[in-house]
Amino acid sequence: MAPPKLPVIDLTVKNLDPTSSSWITKCDEVTVALEEHGCFIAMYDGVSQDLEDAIFLATQELFNLPTEVKVLNTSNAPYHGYVGQIPTMPLYEGLGIENTTTTEGAEIFTKLMWPSGNESFCTSALMYSKAVAELDQIVMGMVAKSYGIEQHYKSLLRSTVYVLRFNKYLCPKGNEDKYLGMIPHTDNSVMTILHQKQVKGLQIKTKDGQWIEVDPSPSSFIVMAGDACMAWTNGRIEAPCHNVIMEANQERFSLGLFTYIRDLKIEIPQKLIDEDHLRRFKEFDHYKYLEYHRNTNEGKTSKCRIKSYCGI
């Protein structure tokens, strides 16, 4: 049997026309892909080759900083700040910029890492985040259109904040074929958009338990639902389990743009609740959910964290 594949959807800007008669079909294609797999590969041209080069150069520069500088990147939310040298994921190191699509967010982070400034890093991080946030908003808008919940999404969008995470996996040295880069998990975001540079490693688990390897390419972005999306859509879109598997003698870099909702409770749109779809989640505060993920045993170990937190 051929190995399973993820759907690939063309979201290049010139091919997107919300006024065209085929728009709703395209929106449904995105929504069905998310319902069936929790993710899909978007072909997206909003990040130019120059920006792609600049952001991965910036990534290298960031990881080349001394560890005592990188650890200054702290956060109350799990995996928003510096993570490194942890026993369960010895190859992994990561940092995150909060409010990354705002000039202020990008500047605060840059100043923390480079007190005397680093204009090119700051600009690349901001431009990349904005370009990928645009893809997030295209996708979310399409999902909202399919479900007929555009107004509800508009209010969610007003409270949306983005975190950009830089991920590095050290080059494994040894005789094994495969090394664990990142343990299997679901993301605690609403949506995550991942982008990997040259070296593959990301694997996503299908609903029937098979692992799909995702190939890297400059114009492909992996759009993946997070836990909060499952609650928001009343369970229609589930967050897929994914991990990173490394092969020997290669280091790897990836970027993740994560969506969170601040200062607004996430509740299921009324339209998504009916006799066939009874309410499955209570309304919840996304940042309180992140605290639960970080600070409680159940939040760390539950098989379906969002259900344990606010499931009915």
Ligand X SMILES: O=C(O)CCC(=O)C(=O)O
Give residues in contact with ligand X (CB under 6 A): 165, 167, 182, 187, 194, 196, 202, 242, 244, 254, 256
194 binds, among ligand X, Fe ion, none (CB under 5 to 8 A by kind): ligand X
Residue nearest to ligand X (CB): 254
Q: How far is the CB of 187 from Fe ion (least distance, A)?
A: 4
Q: How far is the CB of 276 from ligand X (least distance, A)?
A: 33
Q: Long-range CB contacts (< 8 A, 24+ apart) of 62-67?
A: 62/95, 62/113, 62/121, 62/166, 63/93, 63/166, 63/168, 63/253, 65/113
Residue nearest to Fe ion (CB): 187
244 binds, among Fe ion, ligand X, none (CB under 5 to 8 A by kind): ligand X
Q: Contacts with Fe ion in 158-197 (CB under 5 A)?
A: 187
> Of the two residues 187 and 238, which places its CB atom closer to Fe ion in the complex?
187
> Of the two residues 73 and 146, which places its CB atom closer to ligand X in the complex?
73
Q: How far is the CB of 224 from ligand X (least distance, A)?
A: 8
> Of the two residues 173 and 303, which places its CB atom closer to Fe ion in the complex?
303
Q: How far is the CB of 204 from Fe ion (least distance, A)?
A: 10
Q: How far is the CB of 131 from ligand X (least distance, A)?
A: 18
Q: Which residues bind Fe ion (CB under 5 A)?
A: 187
